[in-house]
Amino acid sequence: METGELSTIPAPLVVAIDGPSGSGKSSVSRAVARSLGLAYLDTGAMYRAATWWCVDQGVALTDTGAVADAVRALPLVMGVDPQDPTVVVGGTDVTAAIRETAVSAAVSAVATNLDVRAELGRLQRAAIDAERAAGSFSGGRGIVAEGRDITTVVAPDADVRVLLTASEEARLARRALDVHGTADAEAVEATRDQVLRRDADDSTVVEFHTAADGVVTVDSSHLDFQETVDAVLAVVAASTARA
């Protein structure tokens, strides 16, 4: 989508992007947000921040009630600039820390807690609503929000809803490249458990492999990064043209 076409996009615009691990949700969503001049919300980072917070506060992740209570008190500030999205908890910038292996290994215990999902879903809807206002980061243009249940539970009324998917082989290779800097056989195997186990755990509480009614599927298995971004932008253009 060319810059000159931005004026044809209605505002405020909410784009919701769902999909499994390694499908490219985060990087593609950020690029789409930049292209459209929108804010960007990484809801997966919110679950990681909640996990970091619980560990930092000494809360046992097996104690579902204590975890839910801790998350209700979570002092979280999500930066929504797609150029530099940040995550701050209690005044501490945890943008890098929440990507560490220890958090990645523990996040499913928090993400599958239904009370936690309800609380973070509330915060996510509030963040989306905030970008409809003139005084927001996007100036009221809107937001691209991505995450496991964003198209079905958090923002089922989004103007554009996309399920971004890819083959297991492609997803493992991308995550290996992202985490290890290479997609050779050893790196792929090292990331297999992280990707597939997280998907299996999360699928017990939310559906993100099959598109719900009204959600457009973009399969990026054989697309490079820019082609995937362009495919999502084409969905945005087509969806808003029909509105």
* DSSP codes of every residue in 137-175: TTTTSEEEEESTTIIIII-TT-SEEEEEE--HHHHHHHH
Burial of 22 (0-12, 13-18, 19+ CB in 10 A): buried
Q: Is the preceding peptide bond at 75 cis, omega within 30 degrees of 0? A: no
Specify the pLDDT at position 2.
Answer: 47
Nearest C-alpha neighbor of 15 from the set 218, 219, 226: 218
Please give the residue that has the higher pLDDT: either 148 or 36.
36
Average of pLDDT values for 167-189? Answer: 68
Helix, coil or strand: residue 68: helix
Q: What is the pTM of this model?
A: 0.84
Please give the residue that has the higher pLDDT: either 43 or 20.
43
Backbone angles phi, psi at 73, to 5 degrees: -100, 10
Find the largest Cα–Cα distance for the chain: 52
Whether residue 157 is predicted with pLDDT greater than 90 in this model: the reply is yes
The overall average pLDDT reported for the chain is 87
Whether residue 15 is predicted with pLDDT greater than 60 in this model: the reply is yes
pLDDT-derived band of residue 3, with 50, 70 and 90 as boundaries?
A: very low
Taking only the tens place, the pLDDT of each residue in 86-103 is 999 999 999 999 999 899
> CB under 8 Å to 152, separation ≥6 — which residues?
18, 206, 207, 212, 215
pLDDT-derived band of residue 4, with 50, 70 and 90 as boundaries?
A: very low
Average of pLDDT values for 29-55? Answer: 97
Q: Contact 48/103 with Cβ under 8 angstroms?
A: yes
Fill in the DSSP letter of residue 85. -
Taking only the tens place, the pLDDT of each residue in 218-229 is 998 888 889 999
